[in-house]
Amino acid sequence: MTTLEEVPEKECTGCDESWPATREYFNVSAKGVYGLHSWCKACMSEDYRSRNPLKRPPVPDVFGVNLRGGA
Ligand SMILES: [Zn+2]
């Protein structure tokens, strides 16, 4: 008697690796295959990390304009 179930694998479109299609490896997404996101959790977290706004926004041009026209 076996209680093991076959878990389908799902390919992550972020890293092209196949992972078990479970919520342990993928975030839940209603639109995704198996109801899971197309990216594995690792890729999601890397994506979020790379988008983490440590970058400073560009300095607005307003200051240059003021300096030039302020004389
Ligand atoms: Zn991945």
The angle formed by the CA atoms of residues 3, 28 and 44, to the nearest 5 degrees, is 115
pLDDT of residue 5: 74
Closest CA to 41 of 22, 68, 60, 59: 22
The angle formed by the CA atoms of residues 56, 60 and 66, to the nearest 5 degrees, is 145
Cα 3 to ligand 1 centroid, rounded to whole Å: 29
SS3 (DSSP) at 46: helix
Cα 63 to ligand 1 centroid, rounded to whole Å: 43
Going from the first residue of the chain to its last (71 residues), give the mean pLDDT of each consecutive group of 10, the final group possibly shorter: 79 95 95 92 81 61 57 53
Cα 44 to ligand 1 centroid, rounded to whole Å: 7
